[in-house]
Structure 1
Amino acid sequence: MEGKETNKTERVTLRLTPGELAQINKKCKSSTCRKLSEYMRLVLLSKPVSVVTRDRSADDLMLEVTKLRVELSRLGNNSNQATKRLHTLSQISEFRSHLEQQNSHNEEILWVLEQVKSIINKLADQWLQ
Protein backbone atom coordinates (compact mmCIF):
# COMPACT_ATOMS: atom_id res chain seq x y z
CA MET A 1 0.00 0.00 0.00
CA GLU A 2 3.07 2.27 0.01
CA GLY A 3 2.97 4.97 -2.62
CA LYS A 4 -0.84 5.14 -2.54
CA GLU A 5 -2.21 8.06 -0.58
CA THR A 6 -5.51 7.56 1.18
CA ASN A 7 -8.22 10.18 1.21
CA LYS A 8 -8.15 12.50 4.15
CA THR A 9 -11.56 12.19 5.73
CA GLU A 10 -10.95 13.38 9.29
CA ARG A 11 -11.16 17.04 10.31
CA VAL A 12 -9.45 18.91 13.12
CA THR A 13 -10.72 22.31 14.22
CA LEU A 14 -8.30 24.77 15.74
CA ARG A 15 -9.06 28.22 17.11
CA LEU A 16 -6.44 30.94 16.66
CA THR A 17 -6.14 34.65 17.23
CA PRO A 18 -5.88 36.79 14.09
CA GLY A 19 -2.21 37.40 14.92
CA GLU A 20 -1.47 33.69 15.23
CA LEU A 21 -3.22 32.97 11.94
CA ALA A 22 -1.25 35.75 10.26
CA GLN A 23 2.00 34.25 11.58
CA ILE A 24 1.09 30.79 10.33
CA ASN A 25 0.03 32.15 6.92
CA LYS A 26 3.31 34.06 6.64
CA LYS A 27 5.34 30.94 7.38
CA CYS A 28 3.21 28.91 4.99
CA LYS A 29 3.78 31.42 2.18
CA SER A 30 7.53 31.23 2.72
CA SER A 31 7.39 27.45 2.32
CA THR A 32 6.95 25.34 -0.78
CA CYS A 33 3.50 24.19 0.41
CA ARG A 34 0.71 25.17 -1.92
CA LYS A 35 -2.06 25.01 0.69
CA LEU A 36 -2.29 25.96 4.34
CA SER A 37 -3.63 22.50 5.21
CA GLU A 38 -0.57 20.89 3.62
CA TYR A 39 1.76 23.16 5.62
CA MET A 40 -0.06 22.58 8.91
CA ARG A 41 -0.12 18.80 8.37
CA LEU A 42 3.67 18.78 7.89
CA VAL A 43 4.27 20.93 10.97
CA LEU A 44 1.87 18.99 13.20
CA LEU A 45 3.34 15.64 12.14
CA SER A 46 6.89 16.97 12.72
CA LYS A 47 7.84 16.41 9.10
CA PRO A 48 10.37 18.64 7.34
CA VAL A 49 9.02 21.78 5.70
CA SER A 50 10.91 23.13 2.70
CA VAL A 51 11.36 26.87 2.89
CA VAL A 52 11.92 29.09 -0.11
CA THR A 53 14.49 31.82 0.38
CA ARG A 54 14.52 34.63 -2.13
CA ASP A 55 17.23 37.12 -2.83
CA ARG A 56 15.59 40.56 -2.93
CA SER A 57 18.31 41.98 -5.18
CA ALA A 58 17.80 39.10 -7.63
CA ASP A 59 14.06 39.77 -7.64
CA ASP A 60 14.68 43.46 -8.33
CA LEU A 61 17.14 42.57 -11.09
CA MET A 62 14.64 40.19 -12.70
CA LEU A 63 11.98 42.91 -12.62
CA GLU A 64 14.32 45.34 -14.38
CA VAL A 65 15.42 42.69 -16.89
CA THR A 66 11.79 41.94 -17.69
CA LYS A 67 11.05 45.63 -18.26
CA LEU A 68 14.16 45.93 -20.43
CA ARG A 69 13.13 42.89 -22.49
CA VAL A 70 9.70 44.45 -23.15
CA GLU A 71 11.28 47.78 -24.08
CA LEU A 72 13.74 46.10 -26.46
CA SER A 73 10.89 44.32 -28.21
CA ARG A 74 9.04 47.63 -28.48
CA LEU A 75 12.09 49.31 -30.04
CA GLY A 76 12.45 46.51 -32.56
CA ASN A 77 8.78 46.78 -33.51
CA ASN A 78 9.02 50.56 -33.90
CA SER A 79 12.06 50.17 -36.13
CA ASN A 80 10.25 47.64 -38.32
CA GLN A 81 7.21 49.92 -38.61
CA ALA A 82 9.41 52.85 -39.67
CA THR A 83 11.06 50.71 -42.33
CA LYS A 84 7.70 49.53 -43.67
CA ARG A 85 6.50 53.13 -43.81
CA LEU A 86 9.60 54.15 -45.75
CA HIS A 87 9.03 51.30 -48.19
CA THR A 88 5.63 52.76 -49.04
CA LEU A 89 7.36 56.04 -49.89
CA SER A 90 10.05 54.41 -52.03
CA GLN A 91 8.29 55.47 -55.24
CA ILE A 92 9.46 59.01 -54.63
CA SER A 93 13.08 59.24 -55.76
CA GLU A 94 14.32 61.58 -53.01
CA PHE A 95 13.32 59.08 -50.34
CA ARG A 96 15.28 56.21 -51.86
CA SER A 97 18.64 57.24 -50.42
CA HIS A 98 17.03 57.88 -47.05
CA LEU A 99 15.35 54.49 -47.24
CA GLU A 100 18.68 52.74 -47.90
CA GLN A 101 20.26 54.52 -44.94
CA GLN A 102 17.32 53.61 -42.73
CA ASN A 103 17.50 49.96 -43.80
CA SER A 104 21.19 49.81 -42.97
CA HIS A 105 20.61 51.51 -39.64
CA ASN A 106 17.68 49.20 -38.82
CA GLU A 107 19.74 46.11 -39.57
CA GLU A 108 22.38 47.28 -37.11
CA ILE A 109 19.78 48.11 -34.47
CA LEU A 110 18.02 44.78 -34.88
CA TRP A 111 21.31 42.87 -34.67
CA VAL A 112 22.25 44.66 -31.44
CA LEU A 113 18.75 44.16 -30.03
CA GLU A 114 18.90 40.44 -30.74
CA GLN A 115 22.30 40.19 -29.04
CA VAL A 116 21.04 42.04 -25.96
CA LYS A 117 17.84 39.97 -25.85
CA SER A 118 19.89 36.79 -26.11
CA ILE A 119 22.08 37.83 -23.18
CA ILE A 120 19.04 38.86 -21.12
CA ASN A 121 17.34 35.53 -21.82
CA LYS A 122 20.45 33.62 -20.75
CA LEU A 123 20.71 35.67 -17.54
CA ALA A 124 17.02 35.16 -16.81
CA ASP A 125 17.34 31.40 -17.31
CA GLN A 126 20.32 31.30 -14.94
CA TRP A 127 18.55 33.34 -12.25
CA LEU A 128 15.40 31.22 -12.44
CA GLN A 129 17.23 27.92 -11.93
Structure 2
Amino acid sequence: MESKENRKTKRVTIRLSKAEHEQIFKKCKSSTCRKFSEYVRLVLLGKAVTTITRDGSMDEMMGEIIKVRTELSRIGVNTNQVAKRLHSLTQINEFREHLQHQDEHNEAVRSALEEAFTVINKLSDRWLR
Protein backbone atom coordinates (compact mmCIF):
# COMPACT_ATOMS: atom_id res chain seq x y z
CA MET A 1 0.00 0.00 0.00
CA GLU A 2 1.26 3.48 -0.86
CA SER A 3 2.22 5.93 1.86
CA LYS A 4 0.18 9.13 2.27
CA GLU A 5 2.94 11.09 0.51
CA ASN A 6 2.85 8.90 -2.62
CA ARG A 7 -0.92 8.47 -2.86
CA LYS A 8 -2.25 9.71 -6.22
CA THR A 9 -5.06 12.14 -5.34
CA LYS A 10 -4.75 14.77 -8.10
CA ARG A 11 -6.23 14.26 -11.55
CA VAL A 12 -4.98 15.72 -14.86
CA THR A 13 -7.29 15.65 -17.87
CA ILE A 14 -6.10 16.25 -21.43
CA ARG A 15 -7.77 15.90 -24.79
CA LEU A 16 -6.17 13.92 -27.59
CA SER A 17 -7.09 13.16 -31.16
CA LYS A 18 -7.81 9.52 -31.95
CA ALA A 19 -4.46 9.24 -33.77
CA GLU A 20 -2.54 10.75 -30.84
CA HIS A 21 -4.27 8.44 -28.36
CA GLU A 22 -3.52 5.38 -30.50
CA GLN A 23 0.13 6.42 -30.87
CA ILE A 24 0.57 6.89 -27.10
CA PHE A 25 -1.35 3.69 -26.32
CA LYS A 26 0.83 1.73 -28.77
CA LYS A 27 3.98 3.03 -27.07
CA CYS A 28 2.48 2.13 -23.70
CA LYS A 29 1.82 -1.44 -24.88
CA SER A 30 5.45 -1.80 -25.96
CA SER A 31 6.62 -0.76 -22.48
CA THR A 32 6.79 -2.68 -19.24
CA CYS A 33 4.13 -0.44 -17.65
CA ARG A 34 1.08 -2.32 -16.47
CA LYS A 35 -1.28 0.63 -16.67
CA PHE A 36 -1.72 3.47 -19.14
CA SER A 37 -1.68 5.99 -16.28
CA GLU A 38 1.68 4.65 -15.08
CA TYR A 39 3.16 5.08 -18.56
CA VAL A 40 1.80 8.63 -19.01
CA ARG A 41 3.01 9.60 -15.51
CA LEU A 42 6.56 8.41 -16.28
CA VAL A 43 6.64 10.23 -19.62
CA LEU A 44 5.28 13.49 -18.16
CA LEU A 45 7.78 13.42 -15.31
CA GLY A 46 10.64 12.71 -17.74
CA LYS A 47 11.52 9.43 -16.10
CA ALA A 48 12.93 6.44 -17.95
CA VAL A 49 10.42 4.08 -19.55
CA THR A 50 11.56 0.52 -20.19
CA THR A 51 10.39 -0.78 -23.54
CA ILE A 52 10.10 -4.31 -24.82
CA THR A 53 11.67 -5.03 -28.19
CA ARG A 54 11.06 -8.09 -30.29
CA ASP A 55 13.71 -9.60 -32.54
CA GLY A 56 11.88 -10.02 -35.86
CA SER A 57 14.91 -11.62 -37.51
CA MET A 58 14.06 -14.91 -35.84
CA ASP A 59 10.59 -15.12 -37.47
CA GLU A 60 11.85 -16.88 -40.60
CA MET A 61 13.89 -19.32 -38.53
CA MET A 62 10.90 -20.09 -36.30
CA GLY A 63 8.84 -20.80 -39.42
CA GLU A 64 11.44 -23.34 -40.50
CA ILE A 65 11.47 -24.96 -37.07
CA ILE A 66 7.68 -25.28 -37.11
CA LYS A 67 7.82 -26.97 -40.53
CA VAL A 68 10.51 -29.41 -39.38
CA ARG A 69 8.61 -30.19 -36.18
CA THR A 70 5.43 -30.87 -38.16
CA GLU A 71 7.30 -33.17 -40.55
CA LEU A 72 8.92 -35.06 -37.68
CA SER A 73 5.50 -35.48 -36.09
CA ARG A 74 4.09 -36.93 -39.32
CA ILE A 75 7.03 -39.30 -39.60
CA GLY A 76 6.43 -40.43 -36.02
CA VAL A 77 2.78 -41.18 -36.79
CA ASN A 78 3.83 -43.17 -39.86
CA THR A 79 6.38 -45.11 -37.79
CA ASN A 80 3.67 -46.10 -35.31
CA GLN A 81 1.41 -47.23 -38.15
CA VAL A 82 4.19 -49.34 -39.66
CA ALA A 83 5.01 -50.92 -36.29
CA LYS A 84 1.36 -51.86 -35.75
CA ARG A 85 1.20 -53.32 -39.26
CA LEU A 86 4.39 -55.36 -38.81
CA HIS A 87 3.02 -56.86 -35.60
CA SER A 88 -0.13 -57.97 -37.38
CA LEU A 89 1.55 -59.70 -40.38
CA THR A 90 1.14 -63.44 -40.81
CA GLN A 91 2.91 -64.17 -44.12
CA ILE A 92 6.63 -63.84 -44.93
CA ASN A 93 6.10 -62.05 -48.28
CA GLU A 94 4.01 -59.37 -46.60
CA PHE A 95 6.69 -59.01 -43.96
CA ARG A 96 9.47 -58.46 -46.55
CA GLU A 97 7.38 -55.88 -48.38
CA HIS A 98 6.74 -53.95 -45.20
CA LEU A 99 10.40 -54.13 -44.18
CA GLN A 100 11.27 -52.48 -47.50
CA HIS A 101 8.72 -49.73 -46.76
CA GLN A 102 10.22 -49.37 -43.28
CA ASP A 103 13.69 -48.87 -44.79
CA GLU A 104 12.31 -46.11 -47.01
CA HIS A 105 10.63 -44.59 -43.97
CA ASN A 106 13.87 -44.75 -41.98
CA GLU A 107 15.62 -42.84 -44.75
CA ALA A 108 12.92 -40.14 -44.54
CA VAL A 109 13.52 -39.94 -40.79
CA ARG A 110 17.26 -39.53 -41.33
CA SER A 111 16.65 -36.79 -43.88
CA ALA A 112 14.26 -34.92 -41.58
CA LEU A 113 16.70 -35.18 -38.68
CA GLU A 114 19.52 -33.80 -40.82
CA GLU A 115 17.26 -30.88 -41.77
CA ALA A 116 16.41 -30.35 -38.10
CA PHE A 117 20.10 -30.29 -37.17
CA THR A 118 20.79 -27.78 -39.95
CA VAL A 119 18.05 -25.46 -38.68
CA ILE A 120 19.20 -25.84 -35.08
CA ASN A 121 22.79 -25.04 -36.09
CA LYS A 122 21.61 -21.91 -37.91
CA LEU A 123 19.70 -20.85 -34.81
CA SER A 124 22.75 -21.47 -32.64
CA ASP A 125 24.99 -19.45 -34.94
CA ARG A 126 22.53 -16.55 -35.02
CA TRP A 127 21.97 -16.69 -31.26
CA LEU A 128 25.70 -16.67 -30.47
CA ARG A 129 26.44 -13.61 -32.63
Query: What is the TM-score normalised by the length of structure 2?
Result: 0.66
C-alpha distance 124-45 of structure 1, shift in aligned 2 (>3 A): farther
User: Contact 1:32 / 1:52 at 8 angstroms: preserved in 2?
Assistant: yes
Of residues 7, 21, 41, the one that matches 1:9 is 7
Question: Residues 75-95 of structure 1, C-alpha deviation per residue, up to 9 Å, x if partnerless?
Answer: 223321331243144222221
Question: Residues 77-114 of structure 1, C-alpha deviation per residue, up to 9 Å, x if partnerless?
Answer: 33213312431442222211112112222222223323
Pairwise CA RMSD: 3.3
1:121: how far off?
A: 4.2
Matches within 5 A, 1:23-34: 23-34=23-34
Q: Which has the larger radius of gyration?
A: 2
Is structure 2 residue 77 aligned with structure 1 residue 65? no
- Unaligned runs of 5+ residues in structure 2 are none
In the alignment of these two chains, the number of paired residues is: 123
Counterparts of 1:69 and 1:9 in 2: how far apart (Å)? 54
Counterparts of 1:121 and 1:31 in 2: how far apart (Å)? 31
Which residue in 1 is equivalent to 2:47? 47
C-alpha distance 123-42 of structure 1, shift in aligned 2 (>3 A): farther
Counterparts of 2:87 and 2:19 in 1: how far apart (Å)? 66
Query: What is the TM-score normalised by the length of structure 1?
Result: 0.66
User: Contact 1:72 / 1:117 at 8 angstroms: preserved in 2?
Assistant: no
Identity among equivalent pairs (%): 25
Is structure 2 residue 109 aligned with structure 1 residue 110? yes
- Unaligned runs of 5+ residues in structure 1 are none
